[in-house]
Chain A
């Protein structure tokens, strides 16, 4: 069997994985990058709007503290505040670094990186390139990897001496030795042959889980592999009940349902209307945000040109608010003909400007839906987009609870709390990708012996099983059933009874998944690949549903019809999922979230905090504030 030795193995070649690998290689570690698709095609390529970083290029009042506050507010204060702090402080450096590696962002008049408005961000903050920022980011990181390979070639005569990409290669198990990571087991998609990575440190950067839902902006890669690999290796997942339904996905034609319509459409002036022509978002500003958003269309419109003297329009509320509002309008019978609402930018900007600012949206609607967005409104509705939950990690190093295991990017949990702000993912990938790469390198430096690879036989038996069964379940059918179930029963609005039903279905599907059969051989066989992905999707869906059933409140990406309010007591609680190595059953336990550091909590004013936290926490805040005053 093919076998390779590395210091650090990074699973995933999106923004987080590439940034982690670059860091590990820059710290002198022999690094492998493994990915399911071709190099340069990871999900990050689809990101449109931009990367949030408080550089203050467009509004000089912006700084890390404002960004930190916005992030915590967006996440309804459930965020791991240390991650939110590091993220806000380090994002500008990470974006500037991309520029030094060749990225070409759009510019301000004075030649700096331009920044655009996005939901939940107080100031224009998203570095962008039109509406194809993810492409720019992934290409830049890919080209940085190539640059490092060229350096290695110059010195060692081998491009792959220190960093090598294993593309179209899927990891199905993490390997361990005496409780610590010792490597990973994978198969080549092209040949079906197996491959073992012998490495003391693994960084998971596998992205999200959207393929458990029918209507999603995510691609086939998003089968929750990293989440499942971590669970099966003994690590914990947190916040799995929080899933972001992006408010604006395409709703027609059916084959493109769910494909994303970037938030930049709203950031650049697009407005939402129902079938009566009303700008309904004005009716959905929640109490906690009342004083931050415009109360009239006139004020909202003025904000685009004069932000100092006006409040932003409610179309730019955090995503969970907008998604619920659209959902409610459609349910109330005020939806568009194709089951969404109208998003109009044509009456707000000249055609040439729309094509310049939103080229790929213009192209996407024209090619896929015969809609010219410079002339007519789009029809949009919520789509499963992003999972806030993921591997529980140490904020500073990305380390999971299993020694040698690290995670960064969408597969990690905590940073975004119960709801992620747009643009905060791309910056998250860079900040925590780098930190996880560094964390893994340090971990390797501290080892006194290399752990031994074990468990290869078992991993191989598990992987070939669907090919060896004579007959059995069709993996495509199981997948469709899971997607429908999650969409209908654990979607944007949840009820105890329905989530319970979903769990029953998942339980039965898990049984059936043990009996999938894939026809055909090992060479590039998608039916076989899907059969293996099913284990992961089912495990992750079980986590989502179980946590959703336990959390009896509504917050961010978790809305319970039977518990519509946000509860300060629940704010302090994280739900932690774990599972045995065979994945037979997910257990969920509650864990208390540590109190925010004094210098961070005092960045908020009391009035705002009181909407989120308990009386006890307010007393702590008062004490912290008094101490701060005494010092100054």
Chain B
């Protein structure tokens, strides 16, 4: 059963140069208790996707068509109050930048107390719950941490506090927006392990956004590969990493520095740029940068499925 099902989602931003189609026909599922990774380079629509799910698109952004099914209900049809009721209780989020993610002038304890505003518990019980959550993310001396302010903690600790806040209401879905990108490598591993541990304890599903392939491979059960606002390939982590179907996924995996076995002065890159989404190409979105381009690529590619592994490419034959 799916916790989150995204169906043909189209999101458009009104800009001075005309409508910018940031997400086009995006579809994928987040099954219960699974960790789904979304991978793609900057500008592929990862942040737009998160904001669309949370109902926090900028004023000029709009869901044109499609559905975001969360526990069988379509989030795109909800009004702002219903969405607010979802956020923080059923759907929680950990953001990328731990330095700025917490309010600088409100103590950690107060912020954790505010998040629990929907709970019927008394103040003392709520604080006890905050202490318990801080203990679970291994904040030393969690009781006194409540009266401290974000700037008194290190970056890694702030990110763990943010995770504690996100997990506090025991959400059904946790959205993790590049939660380790701003951390150094050792903290990254610890944070990943912490997320895995809490996910197992609480039993939530996780939508994990990252451009770090190693982290995705380590943590996720399924992977969605996005390029320029479209899902080009999706499947299990094993399928994506061992048997990539789409040329973009292949090239992306080759660009991972961790996969380099020989010394080189030049890390591989994918030449070219993301197309202008105000006027996206008619055919395959990746055709301009693809080294195996054919004439047929000027028409829109079909989605081909093989045992749950899907890719949008003319070259893939079922």
A and B from one assembly? no
CB within 8 Å of A: which residues of B? none
CB within 8 Å of B: which residues of A? none
